[in-house]
């Protein structure tokens, strides 16, 4: 009687063992499929990286290893300026004629700017507003149709007449989809970068 019961238990347990065996086989097949999918994804990712690496080299861009294709930003069209890394600069000399013409237009006849003939040895300085005019000139000539909204200014040192001035405009940030741009503005001595004449912040509307 005991042997019969033991055999009957073995017979009842056989379907369960068979089911476990089938489940194990299916699990192994699923793991194999998953590994194949991962390998395919890895190969595709490698192909994409090779493609974008070559693309960046041909366009003169630097490829970064953490680059993601879905974040790829194509280069801007040739007729459009990329404002993400925008730095504008221009160097010019303000002559005696420039200062006299500006004084005549504005009515600013302050003797610190004009040569009255009494003290010819005394050095004259350029109008601060004349130095500031270099900033909207840079923005307006780069972005035709741009509207200058505001300009802050701190005058650090005096610029003598006939001195060479380098004006630099650098983009800080943009809002409203890039239509409003904030610029850092600096005018310094062309021969001495540490000598700053005037600096500030400007806002412009880029059409």
d(Cα 181, Cα 51) in Å, to the nearest integer? Answer: 34
At residue 72, the pLDDT reads: 45
Question: Is residue 76 a part of any domain in this protein?
Answer: no
Alpha carbons 165 and 153: distance in angstroms, whole number:
16
Confidence of residue 64 (pLDDT cuts 50, 70, 90): very low
Which range of residues forms the domain containing residue 59?
A: 2-71
Is the same domain home to 56 and 116?
Answer: no
- 7-11, 135-139, 190-194: the lowest-pLDDT one: 7-11
Task: Answer yes or no: do 91 and 192 share one domain.
Answer: yes
Round the average pLDDT of the chain to a whole number and report it: 77
pLDDT over 90 for what percent of the chain?
A: 49
Q: What is the pTM of this model?
A: 0.58
Residue 109: pLDDT over 60: yes
In a domain, 78, yes or no: no
pLDDT category of residue 66 using cuts at 50, 70 and 90: very low
CATH number, domain with residue 164: 3.10.129.10
Q: Is residue 77 part of a domain?
A: no
The alpha carbon dihedral of 193, 197, 202, 207 has a sign of negative
Q: 135: which 2 tokens?
A: 């900033």
> Which range scores top for mean pLDDT: 1-5, 66-70, 134-138?
134-138
With respect to residue 64, please indicate whether it lies within any of the assigned structural domains.
yes
List b or e across 69-94, with b for residues whose CB sees 16 or more CB atoms inside 10 angstroms.
eeeeeeeeeeeeeeeeebebeeeeeb
140 in the same domain as 96: yes
78 pLDDT band (50/70/90 cuts)?
very low
Q: With the CA atoms of 38, 44, 47 and 53 taken in that order, what torsion angle do they form, in degrees rounded to the nearest 10?
A: -90
pLDDT at 67: 43
The residue with greater pLDDT, 20 or 16, is 20
Q: What pLDDT score does 30 carry? A: 61
Mean pLDDT over 66-93 rounds to 61
Do 138 and 55 belong to one domain? no
Q: Which carries the bigger pLDDT value, residue 143 or residue 207?
A: 143
CA distance 143 to 141: 6
Q: Give the model's pLDDT for residue 91.
A: 96
Q: pLDDT: is 175 or 133 the higher one?
A: 133
Give pLDDT, residue 122.
77
Q: pLDDT digit string (tens) for 30-62? A: 665 665 665 565 555 566 566 656 655 555 554
Structure tokens at 110: 């302050």
Other CB atoms within 10 Å distance of the CB of residue 2 = 6
Residues 19 and 109 in one domain: no
């Amino acid at each position: 009687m005991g042997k019969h019961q033991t055999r009957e238990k073995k017979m009842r347990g056989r379907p369960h063992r068979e089911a476990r065996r089938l489940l194990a086989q299916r699990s192994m097949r699923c793991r194999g499929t998953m590994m194949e999918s991962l390998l395919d994804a890895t190969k595709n990712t490698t192909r994409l990286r090779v493609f974008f690496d070559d693309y960046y080299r041909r366009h003169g861009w630097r490829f970064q290893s953490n680059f993601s294709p879905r974040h790829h930003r194509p280069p801007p069209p040739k007729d459009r300026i990329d404002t993400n890394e925008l730095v504008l600069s221009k160097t010019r000399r303000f002559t005696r004629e420039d200062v006299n013409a500006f004084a005549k237009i504005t009515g600013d006849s302050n003797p610190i700017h004009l040569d009255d003939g009494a003290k010819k040895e005394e050095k004259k300085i350029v109008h601060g507003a004349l130095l500031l005019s270099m900033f909207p000139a840079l923005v307006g000539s780069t972005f035709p149709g741009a509207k200058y909204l505001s300009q802050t200014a701190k005058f650090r040192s005096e610029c003598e007449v006939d001195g060479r001035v380098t004006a630099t405009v650098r983009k800080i940030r943009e809002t409203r989809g890039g239509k409003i741009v904030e610029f850092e503005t600096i005018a310094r001595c062309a021969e001495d970068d540490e000598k700053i004449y005037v600096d500030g912040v400007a806002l412009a509307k880029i059409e």
